[in-house]
Amino acid sequence: MAAANTTTATAAKKVILAPMVRTGELPTRLLSLKYGADMVWGPEIVDKAIIGCKRVINKRTGTIDFVKPSGGARGEEKVVFRTHPEIEGGKVVFQMGTANAELAVEAAKVLVSRGEDGEREGGTVVAGVDVNSGCPKHFSIHAGMGAGLLKNPDNLVAILTSLVTQIGIPHSLPISVKIRLLEPHSETLKLVERLCTTGIYRLTLHCRTIPQRPRDPAIRDVLADVANICHAAGVECIANGDVLSRSHALQLCDEYGVDGCMIARAAEVNMSVFLPDKPLPWKEIADEFVKTAVKIESHFTNTKFVLGRIIPGKDPIYQKVHQAKTHEQICDILGIPYEPLSPAIVEEMSVEGKATTKAVEKAKSVSATARAAGGVVAPRKEGRKLAERGVGSAANLKAAAEREAEIATVAIPEQASVSV
């Protein structure tokens, strides 16, 4: 026990972006890493959502996208998970919602598959797979996922054991789990002891019980005991709940002997809480967030939702952003340049790594002819589809931006994101 604690004490403590529904998409993760987060968790994605996805190398954004047909009449594809390997490599953990060991393994295989192209870009693109066993929301519990797994520990153990043996060990990929407190707390310790026998690399304790909500204060009475159990088994222990900043996280690490802390609500309001000093002004964070979202072509409604957390509700800018319908309008409101990706980068990479060369060259040719004649390139019907998928001329891209207005009618929700 003493040896385990000594090793933990000398190891670098991690300050981590917690998994959060909607807020934890790529722009938030990239900005958190920019301001000093040691690791970032993606938002929970259900196993069946990632199963069947194909891996697309997105040359425009520098990302790797896992996409699948959306089921629409136009045959469009939906990005289920997007990661930026150059920035997030070795630091992003994929959090999975699951209630079935076989589905969990099938889903994880998508993340470690080299894909059909067999290129060097293939292979694992995440730093771990985390099983969400803490979300208290109905959509998770009613399906036996999230905190519902805490009521069925046999199933949770089976899921973790299968992931460790079939994914973790063969691919050297850390498997972890995030849980909540059980009542009485002695049940928490029993569960942790059992989970640590599955071969997991890391365990995160959200220091609240299942019925508790973010407004309820975190309970840390058994955190040190949980950390000791984990360390005795060679498992990392991370704490979550009411962590306000990097300095606060490191203080909690020293006080309770954990290996790191996750920051949730404080980070969704201001990603610079990962800095060693005081956070930056919200305006600076809002500007950087929007610039990042535009560069990686993030979905407009997600940008608008996250800004609803960053911008103070009483500030006049809040209502203006609330009424905005495109990224360009938001940039104008914030007083920052709108700088989408260069339309010259029109190469789309399929899962086989081949570009749609004919469509690209045709778009270039039409654009050049129109410009030479002094006219405006009118987006063709098929060009609209290409623009939506990241391929097209400058006019196609402009048309795509205008179409954001058609789908961006969702108001900024007042409900805060859920840390899972």
Give the phi and the psi of residue 419 in degrees, each rounded to 5. -80, 120
261 is catalytic: no
Give the phi and the psi of residue 379 in degrees, each rounded to 5. -65, 125
Q: Residue 226: count other Cβ atoms within 10 Å of its Cβ.
A: 27
State the Cα–Cα distance between residues 326 and 360, nearest whole angstrom: 25
- Sign of the torsion formed by the C-alpha atoms of 39, 42, 46 and 49: negative
3-class SS at 99? coil
Catalytic residue among 135, 230, 261, 331: 135
Q: Residue 40: count other Cβ atoms within 10 Å of its Cβ.
A: 27
DSSP tag of 349:
B
Q: What angle do CA 291, 293, 296 make, to 5 degrees?
A: 110
State the Cα–Cα distance between residues 134 and 179, nearest whole angstrom: 5
Give the phi and the psi of residue 81 in degrees, each rounded to 5. -150, 135
State the Cα–Cα distance between residues 271 and 284, nearest whole angstrom: 11
CB 288 within 8 A of CB 301: no
State the Cα–Cα distance between residues 265 and 141, nearest whole angstrom: 22
Task: Give the residue numbers marked as catalytic.
Answer: 135
